Amino acid sequence: MDFTFGEEHERVRETVRRFAAAEIAPIAREHDDNETFPREMFRKWGDLGLLGVRYPVEDGGSGMDKISDCIVREELSYVCQSFASTWSAHTHLGIWPIWKAGTPEQKARYLPGAFAGTRVSAFGLSEPGGGSNIRALATRAEKIDGGWRISGAKTYITNSPFADFMLLAARTAPELTPQAISLFIVDLPNPAVAIHTLAKEGIRASETGLIHIDGLELADEALLGGQTGTYPIILDSLSENRVGVAANALGMARAARDAAIAYARDRVVAGKRLGQYQVIAHKIADMDADIEAARWLVYHGAWLVDQDRLTAPMAAKVKLFASEVAVRASEQAIRIHGGAGIMRDFPVGRIHRDSLVYVIGEGTSEVQRNLIARALDL
Ligand SMILES: Cc1cc2nc3c(=O)[nH]c(=O)nc-3n(C[C@H](O)[C@H](O)[C@H](O)COP(=O)(O)OP(=O)(O)OC[C@H]3O[C@@H](n4cnc5c(N)ncnc54)[C@H](O)[C@@H]3O)c2cc1C
Q: Say how many Å lie between the CA of residue 375 and the centre of ligand 1.
A: 21
- At 130 the pLDDT is 84
CA-closest candidate to residue 47, choices 147, 125, 116, 132: 116
pLDDT > 70 fraction of the chain, expressed in percent and rounded? 100
Does residue 135 register a pLDDT over 90? no
What is 121-230's CATH topology?
Answer: Butyryl-CoA Dehydrogenase, subunit A; domain 2 (2.40.110)
- Note whether 200 and 77 are within 8 A (CB): no
Classified as helix, coil or strand, 211 is strand
Q: What share of the chain is helix, strand, coil (3-state, %, to 5)?
A: 55, 15, 25
Q: Which residues have C-beta within 8 Å of that of residue 368, sequence separation ≥ 6?
A: 242, 316, 317, 319, 320
Pocket perturbation via mutation, ligand 1, pick of 125, 132, 208, 368 by most ligand atoms within 8 A of CB? 132
| 56 cis-preceded (ω within 30 degrees of 0) | no
Q: Tell me, in angstroms, the distance from the centre of ligand 1 to residue 134's CA.
A: 10
Domain boundaries, the chain: 7-116, 121-230, 232-375
Query: Cα torsion for 257, 260, 262, 265, to the nearest 10°?
Result: -130
For residue 218, the cross-strand partners are 148
Would you state the CATH architecture of domain 232-375?
Up-down Bundle (1.20)
Task: Give the number of C-alpha atoms closer than 13 A to the C-alpha of residue 323, restricted to the C-beta side.
Answer: 28
| Of 287, 267, 290, nearest in space to 277 by CA | 267
Distance CA 292, CA 304 (A): 18
Mutate to test the pocket of ligand 1, among 95, 234, 360 (most ligand atoms within 8 A of CB): 360
CA-only gyration radius of the chain, Å: 21
For the full predicted model, state whether its pTM sits above 0.75.
Answer: yes
Angstrom distance (rounded) from CA 217 to CA 110: 19
**DSSP helix/strand/coil, 7:** helix
Please state which architecture CATH assigns to domain 7-116.
Orthogonal Bundle (1.10)
Q: CB of 223 within 8 A of CB of 98?
A: no
The pLDDT assigned to 207 comes to: 98
CB atoms within 10 A of CB 154: 27
Query: pLDDT tens digits for 300-353?
Result: 999 999 999 999 999 999 999 999 999 999 999 999 999 999 999 999 999 999
Average pLDDT, the chain: 97
